[in-house]
């Protein structure tokens, strides 16, 4: 990391400002990156102080010549499970040899193997492993990241995960948005797990982390629609925002319930029916699509093209986790999104920057504007469409996070 008290001036850049209002971009707006060619951006005291084709650069500024390369906001990875312990490599080999998901689950594997590893880890160990992953992600341009709990499945262990996320936030240069995913799965050894989560875990999370977003996973074998709605009604009554995993494998009706409850987002959407996707697009609830999961699990992807064409506000994310998406690369997510969600590179860039920032409630990032936090990345490309065209390797030549050169 390069620490400097001097201003930083990036010159000769193709600047993607993303400057266009204070709401998530929808429909046709998602293609407008508001670019400025041959531009300079000046960073002072951690914020953007000037930008454009005529900038007064101080004599003591540290100069970065972009030589026509793309400079854009840092990536916002708005859906991750980056906090975990252990690994699932043995299970991956079992799957390669033909074992099914249910066979692995019955043998004590799947999500419960990660749960057991998390329960055996300390707060410090969880924070340390999370920081390792966050630093990998930072090198590929992610300067803001949402991180969920959800591998504790008990009150004490969910709080431990949230404490670990908070501890990692103290030293990582980027911004972390924590989410309490207390409805992630069910512990079959607990007789009435849903009741325990609603009556014990939720109040404990509320007491320590008031206002934190509450999340759940509605799917066959996980939380039912009725159970999720009961959890969300209780959380909403306590003042918590809501997000939901829905329609990864089966469309069970949670999209409509999420819209009615005023959820911030519905995430996954691979199995969503066209009429439900259109209804979501016309609502205030954002859609989050996770192409790394389709790539790793079963080759199924959400219909980003139809969602955007219907006027939806789309975000994309890595969903990094040890089971269904062992990938923390936003450039890879963009490449997969362009190929499989039916969206353009410009739409994918919008979905991975300004729209993710709005979803997480950050107003100081996601665009290059005067007064905003200086979270910027410089690509090796002079044309941003290369982000969707190329894949593999790291396309990010430089990362500036909170006004500091970190890579």
CB of 141 within 8 A of CB of 401?
A: no
Superfamily (CATH) of domain 76-360: Metal-dependent hydrolases (3.20.20.140)
How many other β-carbons are positioned within 10 Å of the β-carbon of residue 203? Answer: 13
User: Alpha-carbon distance 201 to 159, whole Å?
Assistant: 9
- The per-residue pLDDT for range 331-366, each reduced to its tens digit, is 999 999 999 999 999 999 999 999 999 999 999 999
Query: Average pLDDT of 281-304?
Result: 97
CB of 365 within 8 A of CB of 356?
A: no
- The per-residue pLDDT for 209 is 98
Query: Average pLDDT of 324-335?
Result: 97
User: Alpha-carbon distance 73 to 352, whole Å?
Assistant: 9
Confidence of residue 111 (pLDDT cuts 50, 70, 90): confident
* Coil, helix or strand at residue 289: strand
Q: What is the DSSP secondary-structure string of 139-208?
A: HTTEEEEEEE--S--SHHHHHHHHHHHHHHHTT-SSEEEEEEEEES---TTSTTHHHHIIIIIHHHHHHH
Characterize 230-240 residue by residue with b for buried, 16 or more Cβ atoms within 10 angstroms of its Cβ, and e for exposed: bbbebbeeeeb
Map out the domains of the chain as residue ranges. Answer: 8-74+364-405, 76-360
User: Alpha-carbon distance 351 to 335, whole Å?
Assistant: 12
Phi and psi, residue 380, nearest 5° = -80, -10
- Mean pLDDT rounded to a whole number for the chain: 95
Query: Average pLDDT of 357-380?
Result: 97
* Coil, helix or strand at residue 52: strand
- The per-residue pLDDT for 4 is 60
- The per-residue pLDDT for range 139-186, each reduced to its tens digit, is 999 999 999 999 999 999 999 999 999 999 999 999 999 999 999 999
| Sign of the four-CA dihedral 171, 172, 177, 179 | negative
Is the pLDDT confidence value at 236 over 90? yes
More confidently predicted of 3 and 402: 402
Cα three-residue angle 148-149-152, rounded to 5 degrees: 160
Instruction: Please state which of the ranges 3-12, 155-164, 281-290 shows the lowest mean pLDDT.
Output: 3-12
User: Alpha-carbon distance 68 to 55, whole Å?
Assistant: 16
Query: Average pLDDT of 191-195?
Result: 96
Tokens in use for 47?
């914020």
Picking from 117, 130, 116, the residue whose alpha carbon sits closest to that of residue 163 is 130
- The per-residue pLDDT for 106 is 65
More confidently predicted of 274 and 19: 274
Q: Which fold, 8-74+364-405?
A: Urease, subunit C; domain 1 (2.30.40)
Query: Where on the phi/psi map is residue 307: left (φ > 0), alpha (ψ -120 to 50), or beta?
Result: alpha
Tell me the pTM.
Answer: 0.96
Picking from 360, 405, 378, the residue whose alpha carbon sits closest to that of residue 175 is 360
Confidence of residue 252 (pLDDT cuts 50, 70, 90): very high
Which alpha helices (H) appear in 56-151, and where do they start and end? 89-96, 101-106, 111-119, 123-139
- The per-residue pLDDT for 105 is 64
What is the percent of the chain with per-residue pLDDT over 70, rounded to a whole number?
98
Query: Average pLDDT of 315-341?
Result: 97
What is residue 325's DSSP assignment?
A: B
User: Alpha-carbon distance 102 to 31, whole Å?
Assistant: 41
- The per-residue pLDDT for 1 is 45
User: Alpha-carbon distance 148 to 111, whole Å?
Assistant: 14
Confidence of residue 102 (pLDDT cuts 50, 70, 90): low
């Amino acid at each position: 990391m390069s620490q400097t008290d001097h201003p930083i001036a990036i010159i000769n850049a193709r600047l993607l400002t993303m400057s266009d209002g204070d709401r998530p971009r929808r429909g046709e707006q998602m293609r407008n990156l508001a670019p400025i060619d041959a531009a300079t951006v000046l960073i002072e005291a951690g914020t953007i102080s000037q930008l454009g084709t005529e900038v007064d650069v101080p004599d003591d500024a540290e100069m970065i010549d972009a030589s026509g390369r793309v400079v854009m906001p840092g990536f916002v990875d708005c859906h991750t499970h980056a906090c975990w312990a252990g690994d699932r490599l043995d299970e991956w080999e079992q799957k390669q040899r033909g074992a099914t998901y249910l066979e692995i689950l019955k043998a004590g594997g799947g999500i419960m193997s990660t749960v057991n590893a998390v329960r055996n880890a300390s707060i410090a160990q969880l924070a340390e492993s999370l920081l390792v992953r966050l630093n990998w992600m930072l090198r590929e341009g992610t300067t803001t990241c949402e991180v969920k709990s959800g591998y504790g499945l008990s009150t004490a262990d969910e709080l431990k995960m949230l404490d670990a996320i908070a501890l990692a936030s103290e030293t990582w240069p980027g911004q972390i948005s924590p989410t309490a995913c207390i409805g992630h799965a069910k512990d079959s050894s607990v007789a009435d797990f849903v009741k325990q989560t609603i009556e014990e875990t939720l109040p404990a999370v509320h007491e320590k982390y008031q206002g934190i977003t509450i999340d759940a996973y509605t799917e066959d074998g996980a939380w039912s629609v009725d159970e999720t709605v009961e959890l969300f009604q209780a959380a909403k009554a306590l003042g918590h925002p809501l997000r939901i995993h829905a329609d990864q494998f089966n469309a069970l009706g949670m999209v409509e319930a999420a819209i009615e409850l005023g959820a911030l987002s519905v995430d996954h959407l691979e199995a969503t029916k066209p009429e439900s996707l259109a209804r979501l697009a016309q609502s205030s609830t954002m859609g989050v699509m996770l192409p790394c999961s389709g790539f790793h699990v079963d080759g199924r992807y959400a219909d980003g093209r139809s969602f955007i064409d219907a006027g939806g506000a789309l975000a994309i994310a890595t969903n990094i986790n040890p089971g269904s998406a062992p990938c923390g690369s936003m450039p890879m997510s963009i490449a997969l999104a362009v190929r499989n969600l039916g969206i353009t590179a410009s739409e994918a860039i919008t979905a991975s920057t300004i729209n993710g920032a709005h979803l997480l409630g950050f107003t100081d990032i996601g665009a290059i504007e005067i007064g905003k936090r200086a979270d910027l990345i410089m690509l090796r490309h002079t044309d941003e469409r290369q982000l969707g065209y190329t894949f593999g390797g790291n396309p990010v030549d430089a990362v500036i996070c909170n006004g500091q050169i970190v890579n």
